[in-house]
A and B are shown apart, each in its own frame.
Chain A
Amino acid sequence: MDQIDADVLIIGGGFGGIWAALRAAELVDNVVLLEKAYVSRSGASTISGGVTTCPLDNDDLSKWAAEFVTKGGYMCDQDWTAQLLEGQRERVKQLAGWGVPISRNDKGEIRRFASRGMIDVRCMQYSPKKSMEELRKQAIARGVRIIDRISVTDLLTTDGEYPTKGAVCGAFGFNTRSGECIAVKAKQTVLATGAMSMKGQHQIDNVVCDGVVMAYRAGARLVDLEFSFGGTFSLLMSKYTFGSYNVAIAHGAKLINAEGERFMAKYDPVRYERGELARVVAAFAKEMIDGRGPVYVDMRDVDQSYWDDLKVVQQSKGASILLSDRIPDPKVSPLAIEPTWGLWNGGRSGLMIDLKCRSSLPGLLAAGVAAKITATGTHASAGVPTAFSMTSGYCAGEAAAEMALSMQQPRMPDDLVAMLTERVRAPLARPVGKVSADRLHDSLTMLESSVVETMPLTAPRLKKMIEQTDQASMTADRAGAADVHDLVKLHEARNIAECARLVYLSALDRTESREQFYREDFPETDDEEWFCWHGLMNTANGPSFDRQRIPFEKFPLQPPRKRPRHLSPIAAIMRGSFDPKAYD
């Protein structure tokens, strides 16, 4: 059993965590980062598609912010929108300064392209993996103590209670190979464990829901969990991982149905498949339901720079299906493509944080997509998840260090660590039983289905899903682990079951449809009731919801007058009554 003290503890080493560690270490001496896998070989950040928001010195960022706020349905913290853009301008400079590969034009300038759905906002293509390698190096050079292969299972609290009435004071976990436990007591803790997800969906099977669930148990306020339903066009010919949809469509890839029709013309005659992602996904579902499937990605007119970049990406990533001989040549034949849709928050939900990345719990901050990206509202931006992860990481590290500087090391109950050790390791002493961790994960993914079935939610369906998560939680609580590797997966399964339950409860609570969130039984957007952030907290009486008004009076952009209740865009697409002019 290892027990150490830190000024600042970071949990998770993707962009959020590593930027937090790097910045904190510039201000305080004792920064520890616990990572479940190996920093720079783990997390969505490392394997992401390499599109990130790219503001440069001469850009008028107020125009970019306005685009984010309007596209995000005004459901934004506009101060965060500004902080995100200004922060990302600095992050891009730092990455470029370290020599991270960025796609450039003949003049050596960063080659930028319009972000999906946007007119002004620009993105760039860079190597996320090389960025992570460089960030690991930079963090170590600044004295960050990185401890890889630690699966964190619980936050430590000053009163040993969950939910706590005190503060968060570090975290507890175990080595994923030796099983040895570790407790890090810290003045400030930054949670950066990434997205909420299930296994088998996004090539990052160790990033599930651990952090968000840990924070919920400790009493941190989460928001907008129902917006965790999401996905993108990632499945090619029903079994291959496509690569980056965003990059492909930015370079001329089109979606066509079985009749050869570019069906997005019906919904977004300006942006087509670059329109709001959830609407494109809904349009896909509609084509399928109406018998015009499969939907194909037509890459015959994609420009050469795309194929050139793809070769570079392939070198750093190891492989790309589009350049392999396993499929017909995508430059010649359109190939069936489809979106995944399910528990995949991507920053549209998570811990509510303020401008300094502080959660509602003292001692706990959050960075990356474990936090809700309030900067972009309902807009699912290509490039923002990574941009937000980097800048929220930087801000969280700075704020955590500054607070730590004026604090004593907190105290916690003497028996807390012993209690956690016993509970966390208990499955190792139990027989594996009928349902192993792997089978539990199989059954959890069965809670959801293909996009056509998963996108329309109804109360009876959600209630059934909630019941199933209750059963899964009960099974996980009784299950045994064959070895330490299995123990990791068992804790993950328990977290996914709990997280899915919270997401489905939130979806049941929200009696309207809004952008990507679609309730078939409440198809209208209802600004009177739901123009707010939808909070969720763990209380002594169980989950408790709240609705937080968005404080427009302090923001530069005011929403247009409240619209009367109207069909949400996805509801309109599903009913075949979508008029692009009404939803611009």
Chain B
Amino acid sequence: MTEAVNSPVSINLDLCEGCRKCLNACPTDVFGFNEKTQKAYLAYPSDCSVCFLCIGDCPTGAIKVDFAITSVRKHSAYAEYDPDQLVLDPSTL
């Protein structure tokens, strides 16, 4: 079972072995620990800032973090551009 809320981070609970390393790894306390199941869970997933520190520390690969954050807090100068324009066709150069 994969637990994912509208956030870049998810945990595959089948892979989680309850080592608690992610609890130290995350600077913003995204992870909590469920004493009953002895597994990590996403306590505050919307606070993930995509630093990938948990990925390096999770020994079983149970945590996934997506590269993109869609956040009102990021201001792109390309908001009005067509996504196709964000890649330049090298043959035109």
Which A residues contact B (CB, under 8 angstroms)? 36-38, 41-43, 46-47, 129, 148, 176-177, 198-201, 203-206, 235, 237-241, 256, 258, 260, 288, 293-294, 296, 298, 300, 316-319, 321, 324, 326, 328, 332-336, 338, 340, 342, 438, 441-442, 445-446, 448-452, 454, 485, 488-489
Q: Is the CB of B28 within 8 A of A238?
A: no
* Distance in angstroms between the alpha carbons of A288 and B85 in the assembled complex: 13
List the 4 closest pairs (A to B, CB-CB), nearest first: A200-B73, A318-B52, A318-B55, A336-B86
Binary A-proximity of B14-27 (CB < 8 A = 1, otherwise 0): 00000000001111
User: Taking the complex as formed, is B1 at the interface, i.e. its CB lies under 8 A from any CB of chain A?
Assistant: no
Partner of B51, one of A204, A240, A338, A485: A204
Partner of A450, one of B54, B65, B75: B75
- The interface residues of chain B lying within 8 Å CB-to-CB of A448 are 75
Partner of A239, one of B68, B81, B90: B68
Q: Is the CB of A206 within 8 A of B90?
A: no
- The interface residues of chain A lying within 8 Å CB-to-CB of B53 are 41, 46-47, 129, 318
Binary A-proximity of B48-77 (CB < 8 A = 1, otherwise 0): 011111111100000001011111111111
* Distance in angstroms between the alpha carbons of A265 and B26 in the assembled complex: 42
Partner of B65, one of A41, A319, A332, A438: A319
Q: Is the CB of B67 within 8 A of A450?
A: no
Known A-B contacts A338-B78, A450-B77; the reply to A321 vs B56 at CB < 8 A is: no
Chain B, interface size: which category? 35 or more
**20 sampled A-B residue pairs with Cβ under 8 A:** A41-B57, A42-B27, A200-B73, A204-B51, A205-B28, A205-B49, A206-B28, A239-B76, A241-B67, A294-B78, A300-B90, A318-B54, A319-B52, A336-B87, A338-B78, A340-B74, A340-B75, A441-B73, A442-B73, A445-B75
Q: Is the CB of A37 within 8 A of B75?
A: no
Closest CB in chain B relative to A478 CB, distance in Å: 22
Q: Is the CB of B29 within 8 A of A333?
A: no
Q: Is the CB of A200 within 8 A of B87?
A: no
* Distance in angstroms between the alpha carbons of A324 and B51 in the assembled complex: 15
**Most chain B CB neighbours (cut-off 10 Å) among A319, A445, A489:** A319
Q: Is the CB of B50 within 8 A of A442?
A: no
Closest CB in chain B relative to A195 CB, distance in Å: 14
Q: Is the CB of B86 within 8 A of A237?
A: yes
Q: Is the CB of B87 within 8 A of A41?
A: no
Q: Is the CB of A321 within 8 A of B67?
A: yes
Q: Is the CB of B47 within 8 A of A449?
A: no
Q: Is the CB of B67 within 8 A of A294?
A: no
- The interface residues of chain A lying within 8 Å CB-to-CB of B83 are 237
* Distance in angstroms between the alpha carbons of A41 and B28 in the assembled complex: 10
Seed contacts A41-B24, A317-B52, A338-B78; 9 additional CB < 8 Å A-B pairs: A200-B74, A239-B74, A241-B50, A294-B81, A296-B88, A334-B88, A335-B88, A446-B72, A448-B75
* Distance in angstroms between the alpha carbons of A294 and B77 in the assembled complex: 9
Q: Is the CB of B73 within 8 A of A198?
A: yes
* Distance in angstroms between the alpha carbons of A237 and B52 in the assembled complex: 19
Partner of A203, one of B51, B55, B75, B79: B51
Q: Is the CB of B51 within 8 A of A47?
A: yes
* Distance in angstroms between the alpha carbons of A59 and B1 in the assembled complex: 57
Partner of A201, one of B72, B74, B88: B74
- The interface residues of chain A lying within 8 Å CB-to-CB of B43 are 485
Q: Is the CB of A239 within 8 A of B56?
A: no
User: Taking the complex as formed, is B46 at the interface, i.e. its CB lies under 8 A from any CB of chain A?
Assistant: yes
Closest CB in chain B relative to A208 CB, distance in Å: 11
Known A-B contacts A204-B27, A294-B81; the reply to A333 vs B76 at CB < 8 A is: no
Partner of B27, one of A41, A318, A324, A445: A41
Q: Is the CB of B52 within 8 A of A199?
A: no
